[in-house]
Structure 1
Amino acid sequence: MTNPQLLGIHHVTAMTDDAERNYKFFTEVLGMRLVKKTVNQDDIYTYHTFFADDEGSPGTDMTFFDFPNSPKGTPGTNSITRPAFRVPNDAALAYYEQRFDEYNVKHEGIQTLFGTKVLPFEEVDGQSYQLISDEHNAGVAPGKPWKNGPVPMDKAIYGLGPIEITVSYFEDFMKMLEEVFGMKTILTEDNVAILEIGEGGNGGQVILRKDTESPESRQGYGEVHHVSFRLKDHEAIKQWQEKYQALGIGNSGLVDRFYFEALYARIGHILIEVSTDGPGFMGDEPYETLGENLALPPFLEEQRAYIESEIRPFDTRR
C-alpha cells in the first residue's frame, strides 16, 4: 500500500494584479524559472503561472493567479501570511540582499529566525516573502537551481521554504495540523509554533503564529490564495479523500490538474491542498522552452483558439 503521509510543501499559490510584472520580478530579480504559463482551469480568462527550479520539481514552485480587476488584498490574521524560498547558504542571502538593493526591492535586511538566517522582502504589490538559508538545514531535499537564470547557481533559489500561517484560533488550528495532517510540533514559543512534515527541515515546515488583535485579512492581489502539501501518487491522494470523508471534512473531491492531482479542503479560514508529485511539468513542452508558450491541458486544448483570442498576451520567450 502507498504511504499516504505528507512529504513536504508542494506549492504555494498567490494572486497578482499583473502577470507580466510578476513574471519579470520572479525570473529577472529572483532568478526562478517560469516552467508553465497556462490558464486558471477554473477561470480560463486568467493566467496561472508557475515559477520553480530548473525542472519544475515538486516542492519548488510558487504559482500565481492573475486577477487584474480584483481589489488589493488586506493583510491580517486568519491567512497564509508569508511564503519562503530556500537558498543554499548564508552567503546566498548576502548576495540577494545586495541584489535587492540594486533592483530597489523592499526588504528588511538579513535576520535570524529560530536560529536560521532569513531575508524578508516584498514584491511591489505588497506580497510578503522571505529567503531562508539552508546553511545548517537537513531534511526535505531541495530542487535544482535554474541553469540559465540570471543568478549564479551556487546562490540561486532552489525550493520552497517554511510557509507561515497566522490565525486567531492558534491552539485549535495546531491541533488540526497535528491530528489530521500528521505534523509534528518541534518548537513552541509565545504565540508561535513550528511544525514539520515528511523529512522536515526548511522544505517541510509550517510556521504557525497566533494573532487575535489584527483584523481578519481580505483576499485579493498581494495575498496568498492557498498552500499545497506533497503526496506521492494517485493511491495516496485517494486515501486522503477517504480520510476527509471519514472525518467529515468538506473537500473538493479529486481534481485532475493534468500536471498533478489535487484535493482541496478549507481548514478554518485556510485553504489547504494536497497534491501528487507527478506527472509534473516536463511532459508537454521541451525542457529548453518550458514556459515560453501558452500551455493547455488536453481537456482545454480544443478551446485554444478561443482562449488565445480572449487572454491578454505577454511575451515569455527567452
Structure 2
Amino acid sequence: MQFKGIHHVSAITSSAGKNYDFYTKVLGMRLVKKSVNQDDISVYHLYYGDYKGSPGTALTFFEFPDTRPNVEGVSSISLISLRVQNDAALHHFQKRFEDFGVWQEPIRERAGRKTLYFKDPEGQRLMLVSDETNVGVAAGKPWDKSPVEAKFQILGLGPVRLTVKDPENTILTLTRLMNFRETGSYEAEMPGQPPIQVFSTGEGGSGAEIHLETRSDLPFERQGYGGVHHVAFRVEDETELRQWIDTVNQVGFRNSGFVERFYFKSLYFREPNGILFELATDGPGFDTDEELEYLGESLSLPPFLENRRAYIEKQLRPLNTKLARVRT
C-alpha cells in the first residue's frame, strides 16, 4: 500500500479572525470550510485550500483562544510548506510580503527547489516551495476570486518537516510501516547538525515528501499557537483505510481506530517520537454539504452535530467569511 501524498496539515491559532485575514487576504488561499473541532465543539476548525480544497491542498487550523505561544523543539512538525507554480511566484510573494510587513528570509534552494521561508503573525513556520523543477503528485487548481493572480497562487501542500532528537525509530516507521522510501538529503539549517533526510511516497514530488531533521540541541516542543497539531497522509478510500488500520494494529501502535469526519474518514496514531499522524481518505470532500461557489461562507457541521447547531453557534465568536458579490 502506498500513500498518494500529503492529505492535509492541521495547526493551531489563537484567533480565527486574524488567521482568516492572513491566509485569505495575504496568502490568497480559499477558506473552503468553516466548521468546529469535532473533539471540542466550542472552537472553530478552519480549512484553507485550492478552489475546492482538493486532497493535498488543505491547511487547517484549530482555534484555541487561551493557549500559549508554541515553544519550538523536537518531537514536532516544525515546518509546513506550500506549493507555488514556479520561481516567479516566489518573487511575487517576496514583494507581497514586503508590502504586508510579513517576516521572511531570502529565497534559497532546499532539496533542489527554490524556497521562501516566512512566518505568519503568530510565528507559524511556513515555506513557499517552487514547482518549477518538480515532478510527481499534481498540485491543485487556482481560485478565481483570490486576491493573488492565478499564475502566482498557492496550489497545495509541499514537503512537511519533522524534527526529532533520535531519528532511528521514526525512520523505521516511515519506511517499514508506511512504505516511504529515502530519496535524498540536503544541508541542515543549523550548523553542526546532520543533513535533513528526504522521504517520498507514491508518485513522489513535493506534494508527497516528509523531510526529517535531527536536532540534538533542542528541548521537546511545547505545543501552542503557532505550532502544528498533526499531518495527514492520503489514502484512496475507506477500504484501503481499513487495511491500514489492520496494519497499524498488527505492529502494536496505539491508535484511534476508524474515525468518521464526514468530509473524509481517518485513523490517528503517534509515531515513536510522539508526532501525531493521521491517515485520511480522499473523499467525500468539502463540497459534500455546500455548493462549490459558497464554500466556507457559513458554519458547516457534520450530520452528527447538526442537532446541536444552536448550542454550538452560541459558543463561537462571530466570524464573517461571506464574500462580497456584485448583483447582476
TM-score between the two structures when normalised by the length of structure 1: 0.98
- Where structure 2 has 5 or more consecutive residues not aligned to the other structure, the ranges are 187-193, 324-328
Alpha-carbon shift at residue 188 of structure 1 (Å) = 3.6
Going from structure 1 to structure 2, the CA distance change for 1:188 and 1:288 (only over 3 Å counts) comes to: closer
Alpha-carbon shift at residue 145 of structure 1 (Å) = 1.4
State yes or no: 1:5 paired with 2:2: yes
Q: Secondary structure at the match of 2:19?
A: helix
For residue 273 of structure 1, what is the amino acid of its counterpart?
E
For residue 90 of structure 1, what is the amino acid of its counterpart?
D
What's 2:259 paired with? Answer: 255
Are the aligned partners of 2:90 and 2:130 in contact in 1 as well (CA < 8 Å)?
A: yes
Alpha-carbon shift at residue 192 of structure 1 (Å) = 1.7
Q: Distance in 2 between matches of 1:5 and 1:90?
A: 30
Q: Distance in 1 between matches of 2:100 and 2:263?
A: 33
What's 1:36 paired with? Answer: 33
For residue 16 of structure 1, what is the amino acid of its counterpart?
T
Are the aligned partners of 1:191 and 1:211 in contact in 2 as well (CA < 8 Å)?
A: no
Residue 275 of structure 2 is aligned with which of 270, 276, 279? 270
Within a 5 Å distance, the mapping from 1:26-65 to structure 2 comes to 26-65=23-62
Are the aligned partners of 1:13 and 1:225 in contact in 2 as well (CA < 8 Å)?
A: yes
Q: Distance in 1 between matches of 2:180 and 2:256?
A: 22
Within a 5 Å distance, the mapping from 1:20-169 to structure 2 comes to 20-169=17-166
Q: Secondary structure at the match of 1:278?
A: coil
For residue 317 of structure 1, what is the amino acid of its counterpart?
K
Residue 178 of structure 2 is aligned with which of 178, 181, 199? 181
Q: Distance in 2 between matches of 1:35 and 1:101?
A: 27
What's 1:291 paired with? Answer: 296
Q: Secondary structure at the match of 2:198?
A: strand
What's the C-alpha RMSD, in Å, of the aligned pairs? 0.8
Q: Distance in 2 between matches of 1:288 and 1:248?
A: 44
TM-score between the two structures when normalised by the length of structure 2: 0.95
Alpha-carbon shift at residue 191 of structure 1 (Å) = 3.5
What's 2:319 paired with? Answer: 314
Is 32-41 or 172-181 further displaced after alignment? 172-181
For residue 215 of structure 1, what is the amino acid of its counterpart?
P
Alpha-carbon shift at residue 89 of structure 1 (Å) = 0.1
Are the aligned partners of 2:230 and 2:277 in contact in 1 as well (CA < 8 Å)?
A: yes
Alpha-carbon shift at residue 114 of structure 1 (Å) = 2.0
Q: Distance in 2 between matches of 1:44 and 1:176?
A: 32
For residue 39 of structure 1, what is the amino acid of its counterpart?
V
Q: Distance in 2 between matches of 1:55 and 1:173?
A: 33
Are the aligned partners of 2:111 and 2:185 in contact in 1 as well (CA < 8 Å)?
A: no
Q: Distance in 1 between matches of 2:151 and 2:196?
A: 32
What's 2:191 paired with? Answer: none
